[in-house]
Amino acid sequence: MAKYKKVRKAILPVAGLGTRFLPATKAMPKEMLTVVDKPLIQYAVEEALEAGIEEFIFITGRGKSAIENHFDKPYELADILRKKGKDAELESVLHIIPEHTRISYIRQGEPLGLGHAIWCARSVIGDEPFAVLLPDDIIHSTTLKDMVSSYEEQGKPAVMYEEVPLDRTHNYGILDIGDNKFNANGEVNINSFVEKPESEDAPSTCGIIGRYILTPRIFDFLAEKNIGAGGEIQLTDAMVSLCKEQVFRGFKLKGERFDCGDKVGFQKANLFFALKDPYIGPRLTSYIKDMQLTPKLVKTA
Ligand code: UTP
């Protein structure tokens, strides 16, 4: 029996503008960009379902209705596919989320920052622990599941991290672990966090990646609406305050992570999942070999 409340709910903030993918994201949400044959957002939802999440809260904004449509029941489409005997296609649209899963959508109104986006979900979360997944990060791993199980046993809020190069600390929330020791799995107690420090001010090179387990106490700190780095209300700043009351646990990513908010990371994710696909994989491999053998093809591509 778990000692602490189950982590049943997850917040997925999707109200960002996705400016790094313009013009693709002019009329389409970034979260609907396709990695092989599924939109980005579906990878995060599947990872959360694997970890035992039963209820999703999407923080949306202007122009994000395609996300709601994606998770709706496709009555007409299903009917057509059934009549045409397209069973595989039918299967792919019918079970995007299991029957018992609940989804709600909350409008952020104005993209004032990740901290503000999370704060918008306070009334739907109520008095329960919850997960946060940033769908920009595709994480091919069971580390979130470990974080959920650990919370239910020990009651410690948690973040996922990976080692980042020293000259990239200014892109991440960085863990301050003081003299705390890592266990064999790379788990560690956290003293505090520093949002996007320059390398000389970084207390470690452990950078937070977009997965968190938080307690509702975080909403009290987010309610202060302090403006942080980049002129935005930052989640990390509220976590610094929460960390003074509750020990956070850091979980090292075991597996692959693709930062799909960035064009290079997005292409890497496409390559990784395409190479795993039984139809695309061998064909793409032979195309890549041809490219390497024929440098002209690379130059003109
Ligand atoms: P990012 O800053 O990486 O996403 O926010 P963005 O703003 O969409 O991307 P660019 O930089 O303009 O290309 C990380 C996550 O937080 C969400 C985003 O949707 C993304 O999932 N977010 C960010 C919000 O929901 N609201 C905000 O006010 C800010």
Give the helix ranges, DSSP H, for the chain: 40-50, 65-71, 75-83, 87-94, 114-119, 122-125, 143-154, 218-222, 235-243, 263-276, 280-293, 295-300
Predicted local distance difference test score (pLDDT) of residue 96: 87
Domains of the chain: 9-261 (3.90.550.10), 263-301 (no CATH)
Question: Is the C-beta atom of 135 inside 6 A of ligand 1?
Answer: yes
Contact between residue 46 and residue 100 where contact means Cβ atoms under 8 Å apart: no
Question: Is the C-beta atom of 18 inside 6 A of ligand 1?
Answer: yes
| Cα 84 from Cα 243, distance rounded (Å) | 56
Give the helix ranges, DSSP H, for 34-142: 40-50, 65-71, 75-83, 87-94, 114-119, 122-125
Closest approach atom of ligand 1 to CA 113:
28
Kindly state the average pLDDT of the residues 200-223: 96
What distance in angstroms lies between residue 286's CA and the mean position of ligand 1's atoms?
37
Predicted local distance difference test score (pLDDT) of residue 295: 65
Checking if the pLDDT of 300 tops 60, the result is no
Question: Is the C-beta atom of 261 inside 6 A of ligand 1?
Answer: yes
Question: Is the C-beta atom of 12 inside 6 A of ligand 1?
Answer: no
Question: Is the C-beta atom of 208 inside 6 A of ligand 1?
Answer: no
The model carries a pTM of: 0.93
| Cα 278 from Cα 69, distance rounded (Å) | 29
**Between residues 54 and 93, the one the model is more confident about:** 54
Residue 1's pLDDT band (boundaries 50, 70, 90)?
Answer: low
DSSP code of residue 3: S
Question: Is the C-beta atom of 24 inside 6 A of ligand 1?
Answer: no
Checking if the pLDDT of 177 tops 90, the result is yes
CA 237 vs CA 78, 115, 195, 263: distances in Å = 45, 8, 7, 27
Alpha carbon nearest to ligand 1 atom 3, residue: 261
Question: Is the C-beta atom of 113 inside 6 A of ligand 1?
Answer: yes
Residue 216's pLDDT band (boundaries 50, 70, 90)?
Answer: very high
What distance in angstroms lies between residue 30's CA and the mean position of ligand 1's atoms?
9
What distance in angstroms lies between residue 14's CA and the mean position of ligand 1's atoms?
7
